[in-house]
């Protein structure tokens, strides 16, 4: 057995995978996000550890025998979050998360300080990345900043708690703006631009390499053998790609999670900062990938379900699916920028907008507008990337809705495939990376799971959607100056 731990934004997953590629068990534990000020998004790392203990207790209650057979552990997690530790390994403040938007001014400062930033790090300075968060700490919390002995990413803090090792993998480290992504090593210049040194960075390993060994304490509580290897692991998106076997050039996925992602694997470092494309290391040695990221995907659906009395996300999707073609064509437009936006706009000041409301509109039309708006945001991101080879695999919680999957295939104009294990992509990828760290071969481990269902673009709906997509893009272009004025 191999244990994959996936630290998400709203839940932690613990997955057991056997050597026949069967998911033997999956446990979940919920997480909450704190927003103590406008644009802020934080979590207390202690909450992550409590969630991990809860998930493992659940597995032990139902699958103790499988846990006793675990040979290695892999980690996946939400990217970019800043966990600052002091010299004693204590957390200095709540972790600043990937969807925190407070550091826009620090992004401008970093870009001015390091004009070659994008060429080295592969990415523009955006508030979601880790480096601007530390610049914000230096400006606003100087006493805490002075005490920083190490900065870890969220899943890497879990590793530190599991084995005492301060390490990170190449894919997750790519999202800090401190990594020379082409060279797969820390850039001393980028680290120094934030007032830090290499000594405050974790050790770098490949995602499929051993990065530590499980301590006796958690091993005894969970019924897992002590001393088993813990793999380097991966950021959530690279881990999802490994979970779906998407490690060859041109293979990719679309993720409907809290955020929305289009991911395409490649064989070389290919930055494209002009279009806000993310260029990261893949989780396997000698591979890279491109990615477009929108900040609010299923989180926008959850928000709308709550605010408009639709109950929950499945109920909202069911309401949207009741509309016929005329009802969809007459629905309002929705800009899904509830937390600002990354790809392709790099606009932390962008906001959500419902446009074109009339007395004739009811909950179903609003529900449809929100889901369509998220889908249009993903299409804008796809258009910044090299087109994928063949289909895109659909992953994430939003993959549970066949109706949304078909709408998304129409909007993207790309076939989508729903594969076995799609809903647990990050945790599945983490387990596979554990398997590789235990000596498994890439050909054996990184297979594409069996396709459960395919969604082909349907031409007439796609043509009608193109007109609405054009209006969606024009609406953002018209409102962008207003967003900037408000932010100022």
Sequence ranges of the binding site for substrate: 79-80
Specify if 194 maps to a domain.
yes
180 is catalytic: no
In the 8-state DSSP scheme, what is residue 124? -
Asked if the structure places residue 97 within a domain, the reply is yes
For the cut 90, the answer to whether the pLDDT of residue 273 exceeds it is: no
Query: Is 218 inside a domain boundary?
Result: yes
- Residue 487: its pLDDT value, please? 60
Q: Does 480 map to a domain?
A: no
Span of 240-249, 372-381, 477-486 with lowest mean pLDDT: 477-486
> Residue 327 burial by CB count (10 A; 0-12/13-18/19+): exposed, middle or buried?
middle
Known binding site: residues? 79-80
Is residue 170 domain-resident? yes
Could you read off the pLDDT of 58-83 as tens digits, one per residue? 999 999 999 999 999 999 999 999 99
Share of the chain above pLDDT 90, in %: 86
DSSP string, 155-198: HHHHHHHHHS--EEEHHHHGGGT-EETTTTEE-HHHHHTTT--G
Bridge partners of 260?
Answer: 256, 294
Active-site residue, from 63, 236, 272, 380: 236
pLDDT band at 317 (very low <50, low <70, confident <90, very high): very high
pLDDT at 346: 84
**Could you list the residue range(s) of the whole structural domain that residue 234 is in?**
2-244
Instruction: Tell me how far the alpha carbon of residue 470 is from its chain's centroid.
Output: 27
3-state secondary structure at position 456: coil
Q: Establish if 29 belongs to a structural domain.
A: yes
Least confidently predicted of 136-140, 179-183, 199-203, 325-329: 325-329
Residue 207 sits at the vertex; the CA angle it makes with 202 and 210, to the nearest 5 degrees, is: 75
pTM, entire model: 0.89
Q: What is the pLDDT of residues 354-369, one digit of tens each?
A: 999 999 999 999 999 9
Question: What average pLDDT score do residues 196-214 get?
Answer: 98
My answer on whether omega of the bond before 344 falls inside 30° of 0, hence cis, is: yes
The yes-or-no verdict on residue 34 having pLDDT over 80 is: yes
**pLDDT score recorded for residue 461:** 61
In this structure, what CATH number is given to the domain that contains residue 80? Answer: 3.30.420.40
Structural domain total, the chain: 1
In a domain, 196, yes or no: yes
Residue 462 has pLDDT above 70, yes or no: no
**What's residue 44's pLDDT?**
98
Note the residue count of the chain.
488
404 assigned to some structural domain: no
- Answer yes or no: is pLDDT of 92 > 80: yes
Show Cβ contacts of residue 287 under 8 Å, excluding neighbours closer than 6 positions.
247, 265, 266, 267, 281
């Amino acid at each position: 057995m191999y244990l994959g731990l996936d630290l998400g934004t709203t839940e932690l997953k613990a997955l057991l995978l056997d050597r026949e590629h069967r998911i033997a068990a999956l446990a979940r534990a919920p997480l909450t996000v704190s927003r103590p000020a406008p644009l802020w998004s934080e979590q207390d790392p202690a909450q992550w550890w409590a969630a991990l203990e809860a998930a493992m207790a659940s597995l032990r209650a139902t699958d103790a025998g499988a846990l006793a057979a675990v040979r290695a552990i892999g980690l996946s997690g939400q990217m970019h979050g800043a966990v600052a530790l002091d010299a004693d390994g204590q957390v200095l403040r709540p972790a600043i998360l990937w969807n925190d938007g407070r550091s826009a001014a620090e992004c401008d400062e970093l870009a001015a300080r390091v004009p070659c930033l994008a060429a080295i790090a592969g990415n523009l300075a955006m508030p979601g990345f880790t480096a601007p968060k530390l610049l914000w700490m230096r400006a606003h919390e100087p006493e805490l900043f002075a005490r920083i002995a190490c900065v870890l990413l969220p899943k890497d803090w879990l590793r530190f708690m599991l084995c005492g090792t301060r390490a990170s993998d190449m894919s997750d480290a790519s999202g800090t703006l401190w990594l020379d992504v082409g060279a797969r090593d820390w850039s001393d210049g980028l680290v120094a631009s934030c007032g830090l040194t290499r000594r405050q960075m974790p050790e770098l390993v490949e995602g499929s390499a051993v990065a530590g060994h499980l301590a006796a304490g958690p091993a005894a509580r969970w019924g897992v053998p002590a001393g088993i290897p813990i793999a380097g692991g991966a950021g959530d998106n690279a881990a999802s790609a490994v979970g779906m076997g998407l490690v060859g050039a041109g293979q990719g996925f679309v993720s409907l999670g809290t955020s929305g992602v289009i991911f395409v694997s490649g064989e070389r470092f290919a930055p494209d900062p002009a279009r806000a494309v993310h260029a990261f290391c893949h989780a396997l040695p000698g591979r890279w990938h491109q990615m477009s990221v929108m900040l609010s995907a299923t989180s926008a659906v959850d928000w709308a379900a709550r605010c408009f009395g639709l109950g929950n996300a499945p109920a909202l999707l069911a309401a949207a699916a009741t509309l016929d073609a005329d009802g969809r064509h007459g629905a309002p437009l929705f800009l899904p920028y509830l937390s600002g936006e990354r790809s392709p706009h790099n606009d932390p000041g962008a906001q959500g907008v419902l446009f074109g409301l009339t007395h004739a509109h009811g909950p179903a039309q609003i529900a449809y507008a929100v889901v369509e708006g998220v889908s249009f945001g993903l299409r804008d991101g796809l258009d910044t990337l090299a087109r994928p080879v063949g289909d895109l695999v659909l992953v994430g919680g939003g993959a549970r809705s066949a109706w949304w999957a078909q709408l998304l295939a129409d909007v993207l104009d790309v076939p989508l495939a729903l594969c076995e294990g799609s809903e647990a992509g990050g945790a599945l990828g983490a387990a596979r990376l554990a398997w590789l760290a235990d000596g498994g071969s890439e050909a054996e481990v990184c297979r594409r799971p069996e396709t459960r269902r395919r969604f082909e673009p349907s031409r007439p709906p796609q043509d009608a959607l193109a007109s609405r997509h054009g209006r969606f893009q024009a609406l953002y272009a018209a409102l962008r100056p207003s967003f900037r004025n408000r932010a100022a």
